[in-house]
Structure 1
């Protein structure tokens, strides 16, 4: 059991990054666990516990800083729940190679848009009916990804808010963490019912992710908007490359 204590610093590092950019940390945890020999289902379910812990800690900090779009967060979070339930059920039955490639294209497109758009104005969030329908579909999709890959769904929510809704990165990341509480919690419940996680490993990851979430929320105040965008772009492209490699078996 002691030899598994390395999961705490893994959760801590992933939690800091996840909190700052709103991704929940799963994008780091799942690849590392997979590389260390964990089965995909175990890696995904353990990661969701860390994502939930990280989102709770960072949301508490961001709420104190008044940087969360609560109305939008509630809507997107609740829309994601059905997708997380579906994703958990199909996680052990589907080898989503084509899905991974399509998802990688979405990530590359989002990263390119954020890079090319010189300035994204922060504006009051007024979700029209058409945009609400689009956001509902994107949230459902993000929910599936959350439970299927254990990455929390922030890779969809952050670009959605920045690209489609014009929210600044300084507010999109905190709002994404708020949304991830819904997405990760519903996903981990279903994964637990299916007997997927190792609760001791999940606890160690969650401890590190919780502390990392608090620190990451504080550090985010010191990071400039452009630097935050660059971090998100790098993470999106790295995730896209990882998905393509996984689906094609290049390495």
Structure 2
């Protein structure tokens, strides 16, 4: 049983790393459900919500580091914006760790599913929301490989506030925060999809490290499960960044929508029928 679980976790780490890197999510939407289900399958009662979130978060740091290295080489990371977002996400990540310990398993699963469902709705209406330039303090420009020019930007206080809530989400649900960061960057700040995904991964890396340090200090991480997921997550992060470089922005958004809806339905259904 253990060998089978180890191989399964290696595959999950790889798949989550690839998809998470492409969409800028970090892979936590796969890691958390996998840990809660499979880890408890071979060792009943060993994986509580706060342990699953903590273990997922440190594996996300591995994925984010791997993909960020590749994205930086591709020059798709907006480093200035990532550092600003980190100012807000770091304290949020610490707050999220403490909030996570207050939730029971059913509450955690239901909230996670509802949160994902909300993000799906936001992405579905994103294109119908008229972009507005709300007194941007910072204006950025990007020209993609096809010669398309994009203008995006943000006000610093709003960027930090959004990042704070992303940091809370990152540690609370163990998802890395990209599931909120990428839509926020695209909807509120008009980031191009490729830049949003790449920049999000670097912010995720920073937040995951801060959250993981807090989790380590409290002994929340299951190191055996993290070790089984880690190698696949590293390889997946590299592969995902390579694949994303070949994809169109609309394809990345479509993938993001499908993934979020699938996980939302699965988590809510698990709560209802448990």
Corresponding position of 1:108:
120
Relative distance call for 1:122 and 1:86 in structure 2 (3 A) is farther
Single out whichever of 133-142 and 208-217 deviates more from structure 2: 133-142
| Pairing of 1:115-126 with structure 2 (within 5 A) | 116=128, 123-126=150-153
Identify which of 50, 55, 58 aligns with 2:59: 50
The 2-side partners of 1:205 and 1:146 are apart by 18
The structure-2 alpha-carbon separation of the partners of 1:151 and 1:113, relative to structure 1 and needing over 3 Å to count, comes to same
2:272: which partner in 1? 249
The CA distance in 1 between the partners of 2:122 and 2:263, in whole Å, is 12
Question: Deviation string for 1:82-103 (max 9, x for gaps)?
Answer: 1111111221223456855763
Return closer, same or farther for 1:230/1:116 CA change in 2, 3 Å cut-off.
Answer: farther
Aligned to 1:176: 200
Superposed counterparts of 1:75-86, under 5 Å: 75-86=84-95
Counting matched residue pairs gives: 247
Alignment partner, residue 13 of structure 1:
15
* 8 Å Cα contact 2:84-2:159 kept in structure 1: no
**Residues 40-189 of structure 1 mapped to structure 2, 5 A cutoff:** 40-95=49-104, 96=107, 100=112, 103-104=115-116, 106-114=118-126, 116=128, 123-128=150-155, 132-189=156-213
| Cα shift readout 1:155-195 (whole Å, capped 9, x = no counterpart) | 11100111111111111100110100111111111111111
Is structure 2 residue 238 aligned with structure 1 residue 238?
Answer: no
Gaps spanning 5+ residues in structure 2: where?
41-46, 132-147
* 2:32 alignment partner in structure 1: 30
Paired residue secondary structure (1:126): strand
Q: Is the 8 A contact 1:162 1:169 kept in 2?
A: yes
What is the deviation of 1:105?
5.5
What SS does the corresponding residue of 1:123 show, helix, strand or coil?
strand
CA RMSD of aligned residues (A): 2.5
Query: Any runs of at least 4 consecutive aligned residues in structure 1 with deviations exceeding 6 A, and if so which?
Result: none
Query: Which structure features the higher share of strand residues?
Result: 2
From the superposition, tell whether residues 176 and 10 of structure 1 become closer, same or farther in structure 2 (CA, over 3 Å).
same
Q: Which has the larger radius of gyration?
A: 2
TM-score norm. by structure 2 comes to 0.81
Aligned residue in 1 for 2:217: 193
Aligned counterparts of 1:152 and 1:194: Cα–Cα separation in 2:
19
Of 165-174 and 88-97, deviating more is: 88-97
Residue 243 (structure 1) shift: 5.0
TM-score w.r.t. structure 1 length? 0.88
